[in-house]
Amino acid sequence: MTISAQQRGIARCSECGKLSQLPTLNRNTTAACPRCSATLSFRKPQSLQRSWAYTIAATAL
């Protein structure tokens, strides 16, 4: 079984692209990129599957 970046606590900055190891965060807490201070975030769960579902649904219409 492969381990995801989110399970390892790694997030990518959407501004500069830097990968960062995140500390343990409480709910409703954000982390800042050490390079550009932008908010770090994880990829949304099942985003690839959702994109395909929307594409197939749009094609069917």
Per-residue pLDDT tens over the stretch 20-43: 988 777 777 788 899 999 988 776
Instruction: State the chain's maximal CA–CA distance in angstroms.
Output: 45
Region 2-28: mean pLDDT is 83
Q: 5 φ, ψ to 5°?
A: -60, -35
Q: Which of 43, 24, 20 is CA-nearest to residue 32?
A: 20
pTM of the model: 0.54
Q: What average pLDDT does the chain have?
A: 83
pLDDT of residue 43: 67
Element (H, E) at 26: none
How many angstroms separate the CA atoms of 4 and 44, rounded? 12
Give the length of the chain.
61
pLDDT of residue 36: 95
